[in-house]
Amino acid sequence: MINWFASLPNFSAYGTPSYFIYLLIALIPMGIGLYFGKRFEWYEALISFIFIFFMFDGQSYKQAASLIVYIIYQTCLVMWYFHYRQKQNNSMVFYVTVFLSLLPIIIVKFTPAMVGHNSLLGFLGISYLTFRAAGTIIETRDGAVKDLNWWKFVRFMAFMPTITSGPIDRYRRFSKDYQKVPSREKYLSLLQKAVLYLFIGFVYKFIVDYFFAQQWLPYFQRQAMAHAPHLSWWVVGVAYVYTGDLYFDFAGYSLFAVAISYIMGVETPMNFNKPFLSKNIKEFWNRWHMSLSFWFRDYIFMRFVFLATKKRWFKNRNVLSSIAYMLNMVVMGFWHGVTWYYILYGFLHGLALVINDWWLRYKRKHYKNLKSTKLTKFIAGFITFNFVVFGFLIFCGFLNTLWFSPAAMK
């Protein structure tokens, strides 16, 4: 059975044009139903599970088994806490439940650093599913989730367009979309946007990113490695080209996920909003990977601030916000992986947010008459963009290769 499963073809999400052809053909009956005011839940579930099956079959069969066990585990945990919360609200029970929800991703992220190989629990998309599950527990604690059953939660967790790489949705928002059928005018508007996002996504991922990922980035990396372990101007090229690769690849994928969600009648939140036009680092995080940054903002930053204020841990609110920024971004760094470059990336962005807040307070106090002009906006944007590029150079791990790989040691 395992050999047969491993021999099947594997289709990565949004990886090839043929994938889109099969997917769009499969979605036609669903689209017709939505156009006439009907949501075929059974058909949507069938198509979702079929395409998820082909994402995790072939050589990814171990990930498929992990995915199934993981969803069962999270569903049992979330449903138990939902029923518990109807009668009781003990803080320690809440914290333990959230920890148990986060435990699989903690194991997956720490295993490579501790034992030198990936965890058997890991599968593509576990981070994003963990955020969905933990977020549902937190919203349940807050009393925001009023209605929850196991099938609705499984459909939320296994929503095919976003299962592997987001965007990260919230159960309360998703369930509202899923329980209602958009009007014909609304659905036609969604289809119009979906066509536009698919077109832009194709341009981003299959045309523009081809040059960044396949042509330019390998060239700059080879040239930089020729000077290893010393820094050179080629490393600067790696930084800018990697930034372009990361943006066009991930933004293209996110547009595909949103477009397919729209075709299925669900308004999945957008992930990017012209992030490189940001005038400061705080604005950048309000534009870059928004579903992730907003999750960290709402469930780590804001909750830490609320708890610290309630417990009166800090007398100065500016000190409180600074510590909250650092905590938020360092945790985000650890979430990417337990390596020095991910952790340093989170630390630097936390420090940048602290400095940004300090500068805004200093400017309001000492430069009240300083006006915002096109020149000052350009300077602010230029500084922000180049800091982001520098951060991505650390994030991508190339410096680790440049300095510590066997090739660099020769």
Q: What is the pLDDT of residues 224-246, one digit of tens each?
A: 999 888 889 999 999 999 999 99
Q: What is the pLDDT of residue 53?
A: 82
pLDDT computed for residue 368 by the predictor: 76
Are residues 347 and 331 in contact, defined by beta-carbon separation less than 8 angstroms? no
Average pLDDT, the chain: 90
Phi, then psi, of 288 in degrees rounded to 5 = -100, 130
Find the mean pLDDT for residues 4-28: 77
CA distance 270 to 128: 15
Tokens 């929850």 map to which residue? 148
Q: Cα–Cα distance between 122 and 66 in angstroms, integer?
A: 7
11-38: buried (b, 16+ CB within 10 Å) or exposed (e) per residue?
bebbeeeebbeebeeebeebbebbeeee
Residues with Cβ within 8 Å of 358's Cβ and at least 6 positions away in sequence, in order, are: 318
Which structure tokens are listed for 153?
């939660």
Cα-based distances in Å from 276 to 50, 280, 326, 335, 336: 37, 10, 22, 23, 21
* Model confidence, pTM: 0.91
pLDDT at residue 33, as a whole number: 94
Helix and strand totals (H; E) in the chain: 20, 0
Give the pLDDT of residue 208.
Answer: 97
Asked if 268 and 167 touch (Cβ cutoff 8 Å), the reply is yes
pLDDT for residue 51: 87
Can you tell me whether residue 264 is helix, strand or coil? coil
- Tens of pLDDT, residues 69-90: 999 999 999 999 999 999 999 9
Q: Pick the range with the lowest mean pLDDT from 40-44, 185-189, 368-372.
A: 368-372
- From the list 117, 336, 349, 366, the catalytic residue is 336
Classify each residue of 129-140 as buried b or exposed e, where b means 16 or more C-beta atoms within 10 Å of its C-beta. Answer: bbbbbbbbbbbb
101-159 confidence digits (pLDDT tens): 999 999 888 887 676 666 667 777 888 999 999 999 999 999 899 889 899 999 999 89
DSSP secondary structure letter of residue 277: G
Is 349 labeled as catalytic in the residue annotation?
no
Q: How many CB atoms lie within 10 A of CB 368?
A: 7
